[in-house]
Amino acid sequence: MNTQLLLQLLLNGLVVGTLYGVVAMSFVLIYKATQVVNFAQGEFLLVGAWICWWLLTRYQLPFWLGLPITLIFMLVFGIALQVCLLRPMIGEPIIAVIMVTIGLATVLQAALKWTFGTNLQPFPPLFAAQTVDVFGLPVQTVYLFSLSVSLVAMAAMAWFFRSTRYGLAMRATAFDQQVAQSLGISVKAVFAMAWAISAVVSALAGIVVAVVNGVSAGLSVYGIKVFPAVILGGLESIAGAVLGGVIIGLLENTAHFVDSEYLHWGNLYEIAPFYALVIILMIKPHGLFGIKEIERI
């Protein structure tokens, strides 16, 4: 048993898993607030990462300036999407709404390839030191960066929902739209806000991945990996999404370990989350913290 490799992969899984968690969190945010399943979540990562990369390389902006500009852009982008595309779809059947986000994903994916090319572009290095010592173990700086950004994003989200007026409005809307409206909450504004926050948080995750691995169209895979995570956690639970993300990240890397050490099938890394997804759907479709729907006539 190769303990060194296992530890390395588990660390990897934790880092990737928290990123999945962050993306899953923003996915669930949109789902809870607006009942829209967003198949373009991965493209949000992509848009954010490309914009940031573009600002940093073309205009030579420092990271501390490029990041906020990107996030502000994503804020506007998210609101614009909700107002222009998703608002006309309110009340339409679920398949129509899903298809709009799928169409959006197709357009964004192709437009970004068109604009920025199909090659992997390295991100300008942010840190002088490659590795830092943590309790004697050499850990890559970007991993620590990724982990801390994820944790900060999660903490910020928790604070937002617990302690702010807008967070409360959003929770009320998720609970019952009509009741929320009758209490003077602008459901329209809450919907736009949900998309804006989700776009910003996803873009943040995208930038983090870009810092670690570089930017390419492959980033949008995170938008697909989000599904096993949210199904495992339960579609209605933000904490569940985070937990699901971490579990899927760890599962992926454990599968990679088993594969490379024992099975030698290759590619198990990519497919394991989908097998997990099918199994979860078969035995516990509402996930760990999801709400079981009870229907009455």
Judged by beta carbon, residue 128 or residue 282, the one nearer another protein is: 282
Task: Extract the tokens encoding 165.
Answer: 């007026």
> Which H helix or E strand runs over 139?
strand 137-140
Q: Please pick, from the candidates 27, 195, 227, 257, the single residue that binds another protein as defined by CB under 8 A.
A: 227
Binding mask 143-182 for another protein (x = CB under 8 A): ----------------------------------------
Q: Which stretch binds another protein (CB under 8 A): 1-9, 94-102, 154-162, 163-171?
A: 94-102
128 binds another protein (CB under 8 A): no
284 binds another protein (CB under 8 A): no
d(CA 198, CA 74) in angstroms, rounded, equals: 9
d(CA 1, CA 214) in angstroms, rounded, equals: 32
> Which H helix or E strand runs over 132?
strand 131-134
Judged by beta carbon, residue 36 or residue 185, the one nearer another protein is: 36
Q: For helices 238-258 and 3-34, what crossing angle results, to 10°?
A: 150
Q: Please pick, from the candidates 61, 69, 79, 85, the single residue that binds another protein as defined by CB under 8 A.
A: 85
Q: Please pick, from the candidates 76, 110, 152, 179, the single residue that binds another protein as defined by CB under 8 A.
A: 110
Query: At its nearest, how many Å lie between another protein and the CB of residue 241?
Result: 14
| Residues 229 and 241: beta-carbon distance below 8 Å | yes
User: Which residues, 6 or more positions from 15, have their beta carbon under 8 angstroms from its beta carbon?
Assistant: 143, 146, 147, 212, 249
Q: Which stretch binds another protein (CB under 8 A): 72-80, 124-132, 179-187, 278-286?
A: 278-286
Task: Extract the tokens encoding 68.
Answer: 């906020």
Q: Half-sphere exposure of residue 17, counting CA atoms within 13 Å on the CB side?
A: 23
Q: Please pick, from the candidates 76, 90, 155, 271, the single residue that binds another protein as defined by CB under 8 A.
A: 271
**What CA–CA distances, in Å, run from 172 to 27, 91, 219, 224?**
18, 19, 33, 29
291 binds another protein (CB under 8 A): no
Which value, in Å, is the radius of gyration of the alpha carbons in the chain?
Answer: 19
Judged by beta carbon, residue 43 or residue 123, the one nearer another protein is: 43
263 binds another protein (CB under 8 A): no
Q: Please pick, from the candidates 8, 75, 80, 113, the single residue that binds another protein as defined by CB under 8 A.
A: 113
Q: Please pick, from the candidates 98, 144, 239, 288, the single residue that binds another protein as defined by CB under 8 A.
A: 98
| Residues 167 and 161: beta-carbon distance below 8 Å | yes
Residues that bind another protein (CB under 8 A): 37, 85, 88-89, 92, 94-96, 98-100, 102-111, 113-114, 224, 227-228, 231, 235, 265-267, 270-271, 274-275, 277-278, 281-282, 285, 295, 297
